Amino acid sequence: MTTQRVLMVGAGLSGAVIGRELATAGYKVLVMDSRPHIAGNCHTERDPKTNVMVHVYGPHIFHTDDEEVWDYVNRFQTFRAYKNRVKTTTRGGVYSLPVNLHTINQFFGKTLRPEEAFEFITQEQADLSIEDPQTFEEQALRFLGADLYEAFFKGYTVKQWGCHPSELPASILKRLPVRFNYDDNYFFHKYQGMPENGYTDMVAKILDHPNIEVQLSTTFTRAQCDGYQHVFFSGPIDGYFDYELGRLGYRTLDFEKFSCDGDYQGCAVMNYGEESVPYTRITEHKHFSPWESHVGSVCYREYSRAAGPKDIPYYPIRQVEEKALLADYVALAQKTNNVTFVGRLGTYRYLDMDVTIREALDTANAYIMAKKAGEITPAFLVLPL
Ligand code: UDP
C-alpha cells in the first residue's frame, strides 16, 4: 500500500490535533499556515523585554469537562492550576464577574444571603414576563433584570459585537453563569489550567512527529490540494471558495500594547462595562502565569471592530444574514470532494479550545474509520447551521 498523504490547512489546534492523529495512524501529513508561527490564535510568546508569556491574540484560558481532551493536552504539556477570576469596572466601582453574590450585594448595597439574593433577583429584578428569551437582551432581562444588564452587559456587548444586544442570540450570554454564592470562578468546568510553557509550545509538541512536516508563511491556494488524498481546511470557509458568494462577517480585535513595572491592575483581565470607555478590557499577561515572577509587566488594551478583508477574523457574527450566506457556503462545501472543513473558521462557529480539540479528535477518528471502510468523508462532522 502506498503511503497516503493528507494536507492540513492551518496550524492551529484543529490542524495540529487532526495532523497528529493521522500521522500516528501512518499518514504523511503536511501542515501549512499563512502565518509565520504555529498555534493560530492561541499563539503565545515571551515578551523580549520583560520575559512575560504573552497571549498574542488575546486571553486564552483552558477549561473543560471532557476527560479525554484534558488527558490529551496533558500528554503534551504540564498544565498549571489556574482559575480565571475576571473583574469589571463600571459606574465608578470594581465588581467581580460572573455575576455572583458578591457582585449583587456590592452593586445593590445589600448584605443578602444566597436564598435572599435569589428571591431579590427573581422577584424584584428579573422580567418574568419574558417566557422564552431569544435574544441576548431578553436573556439578560429575564434572568438578571435591567439594572445589572445595563451596568455590566449592555455597554460591553455593544462594544464587543458592534450591535445592540437585542440583535444577538441569547446563546452568547448563556456562556456566563449567574451565581448565588461567592464563587467567582469564571468557568464551571472540572478542569482548568494554563500550559506551563505556553500554548505554542504545546502545539509544537503535538506537531512533533516524524510523519508531520510543517510549512509556515505559506498562503494556501486550491492548486496546492493536488497530490493529496484529503485536505482538512481550518481557514475561513468563505476564503476556501475565494469569497465567490460574498464575505462572512467577523469581529476583529486591535490590541494596544503597553509595558510598565510592577503590577498594573492586580488581575489578569479587567473588563470595562461602559460604552464610554472605548476598549472592552485590559489584559495583564503576567497574571496568566502566577507561578512565575517578573519585575516588568505587559498589558493589552483590547478594542473590537468589524473585520475588513485584511484583518484577522476572531469572532464569527452569526446573525440572520450571515447564517443565510453560511448555508450557501455549506452547500458548496458539501459538493466539494476530499475536503473537510474544521475548527472555528472552517465551520464559522464561536468555539472554545476544548471543543475544538474534541471535534478534531472525532474528525480524525471518523476519517480513519471511513477510509478503512472505503467510504467518503463528509465535508463537516458537525453541520454548522
Ligand atoms: N459580556 C459582557 N460583559 C462582560 C463580559 C461578557 O457583556 O463583562 C458578554 C459579551 O457580549 C461577551 C459575552 O458576554 O461577548 C460572552 O463573554 P465571554 O467572556 O465568554 O467572551 P470571550 O472571552 O469569549 O470574548
Q: Ligand 1: distance of its center to the CA of 236 in Å?
A: 23
281 is catalytic: yes
Residue with grid cell 512536516, as numbered in its chain: 213
Pairing of strands 250-261, 315-316: antiparallel
- The percent of residues above 90 in pLDDT, for the chain, comes to 97
Give the per-residue pLDDT at 2. Answer: 63
Give the per-residue pLDDT at 164. Answer: 95
Active-site option among 251, 279, 311, 362: 251
Buried b (16+ CB within 10 A) or exposed e, 290-305: eeeebeebbbbbbbbe
Sheet containing strand 28-32, edge to edge, reads 212-215, 28-32, 5-9, 230-233, 339-341
Which cell numbers hold the place of 151?
451596568
Pairing of strands 191-195, 79-81: antiparallel
CB 240 within 8 A of CB 340: no
pLDDT tops 60 at residue 123: yes
Residue 273 CB less than 6 A away from ligand 1: yes
182 is catalytic: no
Residues 124, 133: Cα–Cα separation, whole Å: 18
Q: What is the pLDDT of residues 285-325, one digit of tens each?
A: 999 999 999 999 999 999 999 999 999 999 999 888 999 99
Q: Coil, helix or strand for 70?
A: helix
pLDDT tops 80 at residue 1: no
Q: Which of 15, 33, 24 is nearest to 219 (CA)?
A: 33
CB 63 within 8 A of CB 191: yes
Residue 173 CB less than 6 A away from ligand 1: yes
Residue 176 CB less than 6 A away from ligand 1: yes
What are the helix (H) ranges across 223-352?
237-240, 320-334, 343-346
Active-site option among 302, 322, 354, 359: 302
Pairing of strands 230-233, 339-341: parallel
Give the per-residue pLDDT at 319. Answer: 87
350 is catalytic: yes
Residue 139 CB less than 6 A away from ligand 1: no
Residues 53, 248: Cα–Cα separation, whole Å: 32
Average pLDDT over residues 23-46: 98
Dihedral angle sign, alpha carbons of residues 90, 95, 100, 104: negative
Q: What is the pLDDT of residues 244-264, one digit of tens each?
A: 999 999 999 999 999 999 999
From 160, 272, 281, the mutation candidate for ligand 1 (largest count of ligand atoms within 8 A of CB) is: 160
68 is catalytic: no
- In order of their start, the domains of the chain are 98-173 (1.10.3110)
pLDDT tops 70 at residue 384: yes
Active-site option among 20, 142, 281, 318: 281
Mean of all residue pLDDT scores within the chain: 97
Q: What is the pLDDT of residues 207-244, one digit of tens each?
A: 999 999 999 999 999 999 999 999 999 999 999 999 99
Residue with grid cell 465551520, as numbered in its chain: 347
251 is catalytic: yes
Which atom of ligand 1 lies closest to the CA of 152? 3
Q: Ligand 1: distance of its center to the CA of 155 in Å?
A: 11
Rg of the chain (C-alpha set):
22
pLDDT tops 90 at residue 3: no
Q: What is the pLDDT of residues 38-50, one digit of tens each?
A: 999 999 999 999 9
Average pLDDT over residues 135-156: 97
Residues 40, 37: Cα–Cα separation, whole Å: 8
Pairing of strands 191-195, 62-64: antiparallel
